[in-house]
Structure 1
């Protein structure tokens, strides 16, 4: 029979404190050597490939899921050459329930486990909301929110039986602040923040940590091109919206690189973030409602 002191110690979780971290360097806590990670949407030039690189650079073996096999194959080869870890290209359309579950199962098999799942969906329609079609709205919600749910569900199939794992959902600072021309997108990203919070509440008692990252204005090659040389009215309007946000909302006064956001993903995937749960962290240069 436990003494009152032992009961209180158990209730406070003293027996589960990670006391081994006390004498370790922060750099050691950030080391992901031996971890097995999946990153979705990893074939392009944006956050997916940057995140896969950051996790691999921290020592994790990674599976890169994308709908164009040649793209994820190219990225996986680059990662293996650069970091000396295992990187596997996996074909999968994240908008398809069966495909995403199959892709996650395949990824886990080739990796030999699953510790980290990064759900990096795609953005869809922009522009004035009154001009959206049903297809625009459905595509935006599906591409920015539903696909995150599909991928998380697929990861939980494996994490729940093992009683451990970390899921990191990519939202956007637009889920917290208003952004002209992105009403459906921002509403969907607000949904990702809520989904992250509620999923964490449901699965933390079962050993699974759920967190989120909300990027601000990231610059990718195609975006850099149309910002510098807009070719039509839509691109000129998009440039104006971005410039307005940088001038009036982003405290650092610049766009960011995908790698700057990927830094936070790698941190949240590590032991340095073991006491974080349910939060979505903004990486947006201090962007606020201006």
Structure 2
């Protein structure tokens, strides 16, 4: 239990096992709802600041393309997709860049859905999805040309252990590409910390870190060519759109009753917290960070 008097919001609020269980329950229960409300790419969209009217699904695909370009992901690379969700990024990397993807997730439901989508897209032979902890995989050392983590790092209870595992499975010279939810800095007010803790609980997040902390962790682990960038302004519109999506759901008593009966109260609490995420962005508490690094050759 975190002490409110000293809590800076940058630590997990449970054991690894408890946090992993929360992730499994969250995504196993919500897989159909996520896809119904947010579509295939269950992550932030990326908009040019002078083109805010681009459709959400198009902006979500662009986030994957922007991370591919930023990280200089090699064509035809063998990629570990750590926290693969239902496989949307993996399918795009396979179809547009000829990559061979191993996607891993804690959610059994996500594995099944990703396999279905890969088969339907005709990339079943170049993709594989498995149930696995990204902080402790069973892959041999130096297996992958790249490790890709699209909005999964925030779910990791031990960030350094996760990054160390990424380094272990990368080939010399291999690329680490990460897009993750971050917080503004490590000097948050008690009210800002309370807001983050609510979001951690309702979104099954372990905790978030400021972007510069990730750069320091990468350097400590011996990664080279570490680069970071902040995409907050490009992704901010995600949460206004998301709040608009869930508003009719949480305001309809019949829908809420049926949802709680089918999915449990935590699902309603999650949807009701979507506006809190917008609030966190509006208050400059939550940020969106991207970083890349190479394993020393």
TM-score norm. by structure 2 comes to: 0.47
Say which structure, 1 or 2, has more relative contact order (CA 8 Å, 6+ apart): 2
Larger Rg: 1
TM-score norm. by structure 1 comes to: 0.48
Please identify which structure carries the higher strand content: 2
